[in-house]
Amino acid sequence: MSNTDPRPSYASGTSTTPLLGDTIGGNLARTAAAHPDRDALIDRGLGLRYTYREFDAEVDRVASGLLDLGVVKGDRVGIWSPNRAEWVLVQYATARIGAVLVNINPAYRTHELRYVLGQAGVSVLVSAPAFKTSDYAGMIEEVRGDCPDLRDVVLLESPAWDALLAAGERNGRGPVAEVEATLSPDDPINIQYTSGTTGFPKGATLSHHNILNNGFSVGELLGYTEIDRIALPVPFYHCFGMVMGNLAATSHGACMVIPGPGFEPATALDAVQAEKCTSLYGVPAMFIAELALPDFDDYDLSTLRTGIMAGSPCPVEVMRQVIDRMGMAEVSICYGMTETSPVSTQTRRDDSLERRVSTVGRVGPHLEVKVIDPATGVTVPRGTPGELCTRGYSVMLGYWNEPDKTAEVIDRGRWMHTGDLAVMDEDGYVGITGRIKDMVIRGGENIYPREIEEVLYTHPDLLDAQVIGVPDQKYGEELMAWVRMREGAEPLTPETLRAFCQGRIAHFKIPRYVHVVDEFPMTVTGKVRKVQMREESLRLLD
């Protein structure tokens, strides 16, 4: 975008809908009273179904069982499990008694588990016994001696879980109501560990007010009501699943549909078809996998109206197919980070296709965003790139027990510095051009990989593309494209890539190296791990 607008890159989200002053448990109780017989939660893998009346009662039972275990307000309760109904029950049960839910990434190994349990001071851990090749029960035993705060481990599908439910049934709702009356919406309620690219992850600490309002606002902008049914193949341990999914649903009386414990493209589309889902969530890689299914056209996706694509930049071509082939005419792009509960900007239902494929929308209700010069901290004019910052109800309380790390990202004005490069246009729409740390400086030119990736996505033989910077003696950095080819296509070479890019982008932005792969290294949430790609590229080019 050219800098033709002298106004500062600042926008605030006005709204006639007030913020919620509820706790999460209080909000759920209100929803259950309003829609007792509507579906609340469906777990397709386990064959479990709950109406809102049943879900609310089961949440109370789990909450009462946790109290019986000695959990008190402020205690940290860990959850280590793939997506399943019990994950959601524990999410709401801990909120109802003021315990702080600590989300543990299902992909963690023993050293990461040991660190998180110790750093958060987890006293009770609820865990699946195993998932895929991960023996959770075995790993817990391995680290237990190093975690002095850990009093109890409750494995799902075990006598310990049955005993917790039995105690909850025996003690009833009385003890829960007593604790619930002492809770404030500003109490910390959730710790989510952000996957640091170096060192150990940091625990973003979030309140009822943070995540309940963010889920509610996301749902409002998607037009959710009690008739919506949301397919959630995205992980609950991340804000995408538990906030944008679960809390958006329960604050509107909508239904949460769990296709299965982990993402499988066919399972996700099967859930949409069988449960007549109106909304489907995913990172771009998930939608790419669904669209690539050989029998994609056999699925009845006619009930789909909306959904969310987030987590990493959304390729234009994929977005077009999601709208045209999946019927998700009102699909929304959301942008944010764990530290901001997570969503800061979102496209609206009536936004043009162009807006939805080229921006991450406008600032959310009751929030502020600005774009600053990273060197000076001064807000830049519209149309000028800089670092995106956000402020408002969504900004975390801080990193758990790490005030110095908190001070590095939240300034004196309570602005959260995202580390993302962005441009705000004349209408307040924000475009993310990459991470400050992903920017490639080649021979003094600042190059944003996203721009090159968008060009590569238009190549007919490419399924997906990622561009990174690699060290170069002459230019400081040089560009390398990692690509995934469509089935049967000839592998791309540096020569054929250069020929394709000629005339489409400036010559200095054309990648010098090409690496063809079947899959990109990914995090559990579906984000491409560019750090790992750089490390592997150094070995490849050595």
CATH superfamily name and code, 439-541: ANL, C-terminal domain (3.30.300.30)
Percent pLDDT > 90 in the chain is 84
Distance, in Å, from the CA atom of 84 to the CA atom of 81, rounded to the nearest integer, reads: 8
**Class of residue 529 by CB neighbours under 10 A (exposed 0-12, middle 13-18, buried 19+):** middle
Q: Which residues pair with 473 in a beta bridge?
A: none
Q: Give, for 73, the enclosing helix (H) or strand (E).
A: none
Query: Do 347 and 356 form a contact (C-beta atoms < 8 A)?
Result: yes
Residue 240 · residue 288 · CB < 8 Å? no
Convert the pLDDT of each residue in 421-443 to its tens digit: 999 999 999 998 888 878 788 88
The separation between the first and the last C-alpha atoms of the chain, rounded to the nearest angstrom, is 38
Residue with structure tokens 């559990």? 524
Per-domain boundaries in the chain = 1-17+363-435, 439-541
Predicted confidence (pLDDT) at residue 33 exceeds the cutoff of 70: yes
Length of the chain counted residue by residue: 542
Mean pLDDT to the nearest integer, 348-373: 94
Q: Does the pLDDT of residue 316 top 90, yes or no?
A: no
* pTM to 2 decimal places: 0.87
Count of CB atoms situated within 10 Å of the CB of 404: 7
Per-residue HEC secondary structure of 15-36 comes to CCCCCCCCCHHHHHHHHHHHCC
The answer, yes or no, to whether residue 230 has pLDDT greater than 70, is: yes
φ/ψ region of 199 (left if φ > 0, alpha if ψ in -120 to 50, else beta) reads left
Counting residues of the chain whose pLDDT is more than 70, the rounded percentage is 98
Task: Give the separation between CA 288 and CA 525, rounded to whole angstroms.
Answer: 15
Give the model confidence (pLDDT) of 262-289 as tens digits.
999 999 999 999 999 999 999 888 999 9
Strands 5-8 and 381-382: antiparallel
Q: How far apart are CA 26 and CA 180, in angstroms?
A: 8
Rounded to an integer, what distance in angstroms lies between the CA atom of residue 29 and that of residue 92? Answer: 11
The reply to whether omega before 175 is within 30° of 0 (cis) is no
Residue 255 has what pLDDT?
99
Q: What is the pLDDT of residues 475-533, one digit of tens each?
A: 889 999 999 999 999 999 999 999 999 999 888 899 999 999 999 998 766 778 888 99
Mean of per-residue pLDDT scores for the chain: 94
- The CATH class of 1-17+363-435 is mainly beta
The sign of the CA dihedral 420, 423, 429, 431 is negative
More confident of the two residues 522 and 18:
18
Query: Are residues 112 and 105 in contact, defined by beta-carbon separation less than 8 angstroms?
Result: yes
pLDDT of residue 334: 95
Q: Is the pLDDT of residue 311 over 80?
A: no
